[in-house]
Amino acid sequence: EADIYQTPRYLVIGTGKKITLECSQTMGHDKMYWYQQDPGMELHLIHYSYGVNSTEKGDLSSESTVSRIRTEHFPLTLESARPSHTSQYLCASSEYRETANEKLFFGSGTQLSVL
């Protein structure tokens, strides 16, 4: 049902490397989100976007940055990865609605491990 894709699925990388987590959706959704989740824990919103050229920071402070140059693409970048960035990163999208019924569609996630 959901046409939202994240790559890579798993990433193991050394400290100090620059990484980009990819997220693409084919549903034409205006809104996209990045959530961070530690194992077995709640999801924390780190970035979101209302549409092209719109990006906002979420509730959880993050050293990552995002861009939204195209509607379907919402990549997340870490300029210098650290072990504290080890986590699962979930991308989601939704169709804008005036009501509260704004269902999020999630990708499969990227499990990032920084050594």
Site string for another protein, 15-34 (x = CB under 8 A): ----------------x-x-
- One of 87, 111, 113, 115 touching another protein (CB under 8 A): 111
Q: Which of 86, 72, 69, 64 is nearest to 32 (CA)?
A: 72
Where would I find the beta strands (DSSP E) of the chain? 4-7, 10-13, 19-25, 31-37, 43-49, 56-57, 65-66, 76-78, 87-94, 105-106, 110-114
Binders of another protein in range 74-93 (CB under 8 A): 88, 90, 92
Give residues in contact with another protein (CB under 8 A): 31, 33, 35, 40-43, 45, 48, 50, 56, 58-59, 88, 90, 92, 98-109, 111
